Amino acid sequence: MEKSVCMYFQVHQPHRLRQYRFFDIGKDSHYYDEFANKTILRRVSDSCYLPANKVIRDIIEESKGAFKIAFSLSGSVIDQFEKYAPEVIDSFKKLAETNCVEFLAETYNHSLASLVSPAEFKAQVMLHSKKIESLFGKKPVVFRNTELIYSDEIGAMVADMKYKAMLTEGAKHILGWKSPNYVYSNAINPKLKLLLRNFNLSDDIAFRFSERSWSNWPLTADKYVTWIANTLAKDEVVNIFMDYETLGEHQKASTGIFQFIKFFPKALLSQTDIKFCTPSEICKRHQPVAPLNVPFPISWADEERDTTAWLGNELQNEAFTKLYSVEKQVLRSKDIDLINDFRKLQESDHFYYMCTKFFSDGIVHGYFNPYESPYEAFINYMNILSDFLLRVDKSKKTTKTS
Amino acid sequence: MKVLMFGWEFPPHISGGLGTACYGLTKGLAKHGVEVLFVMPSPSGDEDQSAVKIINASDVVIDESVKNSESFLQKVQFLRVGSNMVPYVDPVRFTTLVESQRVSQIEGYKMYAGERYQFSGKYGTNLMEEVARYAIVAGEIALKYDFDIIHAHDWLTYLAGITAKRLTGKPLVVHMHATEFDRSGNNINTQVYDLEKMGMKEADIVIAVSNLTRNIVISKYGINPEKVITVHNAVEFDKSDNMEVERGVPEKVVTFLGRITYQKGPEYFIEAAAKVLKRYPNVRFVMAGNGDLLTRAIRRVAKLGIATKFHFTGFLKGADVNRMYSYSDVYVMPSVSEPFGISPLEAMRANVPVIISKQSGVAEVLTHALKVDFWDIDAMADAIHALLVYPALSNFVVKNGFEEVNALKWDNAAAKVKEIYTKLTGKL
C-alpha cells in the first residue's frame, strides 16, 4: 500500500482596519490601517515568507523533486504583497516553476461567505482562482475554505464548482473512532475527496515546537519521522496543515524551526518509503475509504473545532448579518470601490477579533490582534460598517435616478 | 480570631465608598468566623450591628488603664507627630514647637481624662486634631479589649492603629482605600502623605484595593513591595429590585455620577459630551454630584453651547441615586485616578452599560465594561456613541455585566484578608 505525507501551508494577512471614530461616519470612507498593514507584512516577509521560501526551494532542489508541498495564498495577502513586498510574489513564482508546489483555491478575501451566501462564495472563489492562474500559470484543482471550514453542504457547493478535493480538519467529534489518516469523500457528492488534517502531528510543529515544558521537547527531525512512520504503519496518509507564519514568526528562527524543516524531509525520504505528495497527487494515489457526515460546519480553530470563534456571540452575529444584508445592493451598484470594500470587510479576522470566548482568561484571541478588547473591535467595525451602509444607500439612489 | 478594626464611618452614615467597603468587609469576615471589634468615632446608634460589635469611641472613658499620662505618652511616641499638624514650620522652630505641643498635649490629655471627649465624627476643620485624639482613645481600647490583630482603614485611623500596635505588640494591617495622590493629583497635602506613609511603614501588611493603588504605594511612598498585597473590593447589593422610572424626555440619557472634583475627571465627560452632541442629537447628558469644580463645569458647558442638552442635578443620595441609574442608558466614570470605584458596579447592577477609565482599580476586575483612557475624549465619545446606536453592544454588555457584577463577592475578598491575618498571627 502506498504511504504519503501531504504538507500544506496557509498564507494570509488581513486588511487591518484603521481606528475609525463615529465622527468619521459619512465623511471619510477610507477604512484601512495602511501603516500597520505595511509594517506587519514587511516584518513577516523578512522573518517568514522570504527565508521559508528559500529553505523550501533548497529542499526541493536537493531532493531532486521528491519533496512536494502545497500553499494557499489568500487574495488579501496577494494584494498586499503586490503593494508592499512584490519580491515575495516573485519567490512564490520561482517555487511554482519547480512543479513540486501546488497552489490551492480559496475565497479571495478569506471570507466566511460559505456559511451564508452561496453566490458571494462562488464569486470570490472564481476571483481567487483567476488570480492564482494569472500568477502561477495553473488553475487550482483542490479547494481549501477559510479556516478549513467545512460541512456537507459547503462540500457539495465546492464539488459543483468542479474541484477534485477539499481540505478540512480531522475533527474528533466528526470522526469518532475513524482515523483522519485516510482519504474520505463528501456525503452528498462522493466525487469530492476530503483530506483531513492530522491535528496532533500538525500542532506538534505549529504550537508545541518551542514549548520547553512539553515532554517531547526538543522536537528533532528523526523523532518526528518516527512518529509519522508509526502512524503510517497502519494508515495511509498524514496531512500536516498549518499557517505558514509558523516558520519564523510564531516559531522564531532562534527556536531552530528552519533547521527542523530542512532536515525533516531528508530524514523522511532516506529512512522510509513514505512519499511527499501534493493534495492532487494524494487524490490520484489514494481512494476514499468512506463518505464523511458533517451536518454542521467544522473548522480548525480552538478546542471546539466549530465556527464559534467568528460567529459565536451576539456582537459577531450582528456585524456579520448587517454586512451581508446589503449584499445584493452592493453587487447591483457595479461600483468597484464599494464591492472591494464589501469583500475586505468580509475577512474572517475582523470577526475573530470580536470573539469573547476567552474573555475570562484574559487571553487576547488571535495573533496580530490590533484591539485591546472585543468591544473595541466591534465598535470600530460597526463605525466603518455604518459608513459603508450609508454609501450603499447612496448608490441605491444614484442607480435609481440614472 | 479577633480583629480590632479602626474605621471612620459605617452605613447608613457615609460620605464615600470607605464606609461601604468597611461594612462589606466586616460582614464577609464575620461569615468566615472572624470576630471584629470595630472602632469609630461618634456612631449615631442606628448602624447594623448584626455582623460587628461597634464600639463608640465617644463612649470610652479615659481613666483607669493608664494611671500616669506622661508615661503613656512616652510609650506612644508617635503622639509627637501630632505637632506636625501645624503647617509651615521651619526646622529650628520645629523642635521648640514639638516640645510645647507635647506639654500642652499632656495638659489636654489630663483635662479630658475621666471625661468623655465628644468626637464630632465628621470631616471638618479640626480633622487633624480629631485624628490624634482618636488615637489616644485607641490606646485605651487596645489595652482594655482582647484581640489578635489590628486593622486600620485609611489614613484617618492609622495613628490609632499604630498606637494599638505599640501598646500591645499585636500585628498591624493597614488598608489603603485611596492615596493622597488620588485625591489631590500631584499637589498633595504633605501632612496626609506623611501619616499615610508612617502607617504603611509601621504596618506588617499593607492591603491595597487595586494593583493601581498598590503601584502608587510602592512607587510614591517607597513601601517594600513584599508587604503590599492587593485585595480588590467587592460589592454588596440588597435584594431590592431595580426601580422602574417614567421618562420625561424622549432622548437617551448618559450619566456622570460622583463628586465633581479633579479626581473624578468631570471635564473629560463634558468634552466627550460635546463631541457626541455634534453628530448625534438624540441624547442628553447628566452630571450628578457636587464639588469644587462644579461652577467651572457649568461655565464650560455654557461656553460649548450644549446647556440645553447637558444637565446638572446637584448632590444626589439614597433613592435618588438609584432613580438616576434607572434613568440612564450609559454610565460614564472618567476618573483621573480611582483606587477602586464602586459606582460602575452599581450602574451595572441596574442594567446600565458602563464606560470606565483605565486609570481605575475597578477596571482590573471588570471585563464587561468599555475601558478608555480618561484623557482620550475621542475614545470616550466613540464608546458613548457606540452604546447609544449599536443595541447589540449595549445588550451584550448589560447582560454579561449583570452576571459579572453579581459574582463579585465580599466573601472572597474577606477570605483573602483572613489569609493575611492567619499568616501574621499563626491563628486560624
Average pLDDT score over residue span B155-180:
92
Residue of B nearest to A24 (CA): B279
Under 8 Å between Cβ of A166 and A144: yes
Residue B370 sits at the chain A interface (C-beta within 8 Å): yes
Domain end, chosen from A266, A292, A318, is at: A292
To test the contact with chain A by mutation, choose from B357, B396, B400 the residue with the greatest count of A C-beta atoms within 10 A, namely B396
Under 8 Å between Cβ of B201 and B217: no
Same structural domain for residues B391 and B421?
A: no
Instruction: Report which of residues B317 and B210 the model is more confident about.
Output: B210
Same structural domain for residues A327 and A396?
A: yes
HSE value, Cβ hemisphere, 13 Å, CA-based, for A1:
11
Same structural domain for residues B159 and B285?
A: no
Please report the pLDDT score of residue B45 as a whole number: 52
Residue B247 lies in a domain: no
Q: Closest Cα of chain A to B279: distance in Å?
A: 7
Angstrom distances, CA of residue B104 to CA of A230, B100, B131, B195: 92, 6, 17, 21
Cis peptide before A218 (omega within 30 of 0): yes
Same structural domain for residues B399 and B419?
A: no
State the pLDDT confidence band at B20, using cuts at 50, 70 and 90. Answer: confident
Residue A336 lies in a domain: yes
Q: Is the dihedral of CA B246, B248, B250, B256 positive or negative?
A: negative
Report the relative pairing of strands B283-288 and B53-56 from DSSP bridges. Answer: unpaired
Average pLDDT score over residue span B293-314:
96
Question: Could you tell me which of A394, A395, A324, A378 has the C-alpha nearest to residue A17?
Answer: A378
Same structural domain for residues A253 and A328?
A: no
- How many percent of chain A have pLDDT more than 90? 93
Q: Tell me whether residues B279 and A382 touch, CB distance under 8 A.
A: no
Same structural domain for residues A281 and A334?
A: no
Residue of A nearest to B272 (CA): A23
Same structural domain for residues A203 and A109?
A: yes
- Residues in chain A with CB shorter than 8 Å from the CB of B396 are 313-315
Residue A304 lies in a domain: no
Same structural domain for residues B221 and B311?
A: no
Q: Tell me whether residues B390 and A375 touch, CB distance under 8 A.
A: no
Side chain identity, residue A339: I
C-alpha cell at position B77: 511616641
Instruction: Report which of residues A301 and A384 the model is more confident about.
Output: A384
Count of CB atoms within 10 A of residue B192's CB? 18
Helix (H, G, I), strand (E, B), or coil: what is residue A329? helix
Same structural domain for residues B268 and B171?
A: no
Task: Please name the residue that has the C-alpha cell 460597526.
Answer: A382
Same structural domain for residues B317 and B377?
A: yes
CA B283 – CA B380 distance, rounded (Å): 15
C-alpha cell at position B117: 471627649
Please report the pLDDT score of residue B120 as a whole number: 47
Residue B18 lies in a domain: yes
Domain residues for the domain of A112 are: 4-292
Find the length of chain B: 428
Count of CB atoms within 10 A of residue B167's CB? 19
Please report the pLDDT score of residue B101 as a whole number: 45
Same structural domain for residues B217 and B348?
A: no
Same structural domain for residues A331 and A361?
A: yes
Please report the pLDDT score of residue B95 as a whole number: 44
Same structural domain for residues A190 and A336?
A: no
The distance between the two most distant Cα atoms of chain B, rounded to a whole number of Å, is: 74
Nearest to B382 among A359, A372, A379 (CB): A379
Question: Could you tell me which of B124, B144, B126 has the C-alpha nearest to residue B57?
Answer: B144
Nearest to B393 among A21, A23, A375 (CB): A375
Taking each continuous run of H as one helix and of E as one strand, the counts in chain A are 17, 12
Average pLDDT score over residue span B352-376:
96
Q: Is a pLDDT exceeding 70 seen at residue B8?
A: no
Give the DSSP H/E element, type plus range, for residue A72. strand A69-73
Q: Tell me whether residues B367 and A360 touch, CB distance under 8 A.
A: yes
**Could you read off the pLDDT of A334-347 as tens digits, one per residue?**
999 999 999 999 99
Told to judge if A147 belongs to the known catalytic residues of this protein, a careful annotator would answer: yes
Average pLDDT score over residue span B187-214:
93
- Residues in chain A with CB shorter than 8 Å from the CB of B383 are 379
Same structural domain for residues A327 and A234?
A: no
Same structural domain for residues B420 and B349?
A: no
Residue B182 lies in a domain: yes
Same structural domain for residues A175 and A54?
A: yes
Q: Tell me whether residues B367 and A359 touch, CB distance under 8 A.
A: yes
- Residues in chain B with CB shorter than 8 Å from the CB of A17 are none
Same structural domain for residues B170 and B129?
A: yes
DSSP string over B168-235: H---EEEEES--HHHHHTTS--HHHHHHHHHHHHH-SEEEESSHHHHHHHHHHH---GGGEEE-----
Same structural domain for residues A190 and A272?
A: yes
Residue B241 lies in a domain: no
Strand partners, A166: A143, A194
Average pLDDT score over residue span B199-205:
96
Strand partners, A70: A8, A102
**Could you read off the pLDDT of B73-93 as tens digits, one per residue?**
333 222 222 222 222 223 333
Question: Could you tell me which of A72, A80, A153 has the C-alpha nearest to residue A106?
Answer: A72
Please report the pLDDT score of residue B248 as a whole number: 78
Under 8 Å between Cβ of A9 and A49: no
Mean pLDDT of chain B: 80
**Could you read off the pLDDT of A214-240 as tens digits, one per residue?**
999 999 999 999 999 999 999 999 999
* CATH code, B282: 3.40.50.2000
pTM for the full model? 0.87
Question: Could you tell me which of A19, A11, A2 has the C-alpha nearest to residue A377?
Answer: A19
Q: Is a pLDDT exceeding 70 seen at residue B68?
A: no
Instruction: Report which of residues A21 and B3 the model is more confident about.
Output: A21
Side chain identity, residue B307: A
Report the relative pairing of strands A184-186 and A193-197 from DSSP bridges. Answer: antiparallel
Question: Which chain B residues in 252-291 lie under 8 Å from chain A, judged by CB atoms?
Answer: 275, 278-280
Q: What's the complex ipTM?
A: 0.90
A interface residues, B as partner, C-beta within 8 Å: 21-23, 25, 313-315, 317-319, 356, 359-360, 362, 372-373, 375-376, 378-379, 382-383, 386
Nearest to A373 among B278, B371, B381 (CB): B371
Residue A299 lies in a domain: no
Residue of A nearest to B276 (CA): A23
Under 8 Å between Cβ of B361 and B213: yes
Residue B211 sits at the chain A interface (C-beta within 8 Å): no
- Residues in chain B with CB shorter than 8 Å from the CB of A311 are none
Under 8 Å between Cβ of B207 and B185: no
Same structural domain for residues A179 and A255?
A: yes
Same structural domain for residues B54 and B89?
A: yes
State the pLDDT confidence band at B390, using cuts at 50, 70 and 90. Answer: very high
Q: Closest Cα of chain B to A379: distance in Å?
A: 6
Which residues, at least 6 apart from A15, have a Cβ–Cβ distance to it below 8 Å?
A32, A37, A76, A79, A80, A344, A347
Residue B243 lies in a domain: no
State the pLDDT confidence band at B277, using cuts at 50, 70 and 90. Answer: very high
State the pLDDT confidence band at B109, using cuts at 50, 70 and 90. Answer: very low
C-alpha cell at position B249: 424626555
Same structural domain for residues B182 and B92?
A: yes
Q: Tell me whether residues B386 and A382 touch, CB distance under 8 A.
A: yes
State the pLDDT confidence band at A367, using cuts at 50, 70 and 90. Answer: low
Q: How many domains does chain B have?
A: 2
Please report the pLDDT score of residue A125 as a whole number: 98
Residue A305 lies in a domain: no
Same structural domain for residues A78 and A167?
A: yes
Residue B244 lies in a domain: no
C-alpha cell at position B321: 441615586
- Residues in chain A with CB shorter than 8 Å from the CB of B385 are 22
State the pLDDT confidence band at B58, using cuts at 50, 70 and 90. Answer: low
Q: Is a pLDDT exceeding 60 seen at residue A307?
A: yes
Q: Is a pLDDT exceeding 90 seen at residue B44?
A: no
Mean pLDDT of chain A: 95
Q: Which is the catalytic residue, given A147, A153, A249, A347?
A: A147
A205-209, A326-330, B405-409: range with lowest mean pLDDT: B405-409
Which residues, at least 6 apart from B41, have a Cβ–Cβ distance to it below 8 Å?
B8, B57, B58, B119, B120, B121, B130, B134
**Could you read off the pLDDT of B113-142 as tens digits, one per residue?**
444 455 544 444 456 766 777 788 788 888
- Interface A:B, Cβ pairs < 8 A: 56
Same structural domain for residues B228 and B278?
A: no
Domain end, chosen from A292, A326, A344, is at: A292
- Residues in chain B with CB shorter than 8 Å from the CB of A383 are 382, 386
Q: A147 burial class (0-12, 13-18, 19+ CB within 10 angstroms)?
A: buried
Same structural domain for residues A10 and A46?
A: yes
Nearest to B396 among A21, A315, A382 (CB): A315
Q: How many domains does chain A have?
A: 2
Please report the pLDDT score of residue B356 as a whole number: 98
3-state secondary structure A364-384: CCCCCCCCCCHHHHHHHHHHH
**Could you read off the pLDDT of A254-270 as tens digits, one per residue?**
999 999 999 999 999 99
Residue B63 lies in a domain: yes
Nearest to B393 among A315, A372, A386 (CB): A315
Find the length of chain A: 402
Residue A301 lies in a domain: no
**Could you read off the pLDDT of A234-252 as tens digits, one per residue?**
999 999 999 999 999 999 9
Question: Could you tell me which of A299, A300, A349, A278 has the C-alpha nearest to residue A71?
Answer: A278
Q: Is a pLDDT exceeding 50 seen at residue A18?
A: yes
Domain residues for the domain of B397 are: 252-406
Q: Tell me whether residues B381 and A23 touch, CB distance under 8 A.
A: yes
**Could you read off the pLDDT of A39-96 as tens digits, one per residue?**
999 999 999 999 999 999 999 999 999 999 999 999 999 999 999 999 999 999 999 9
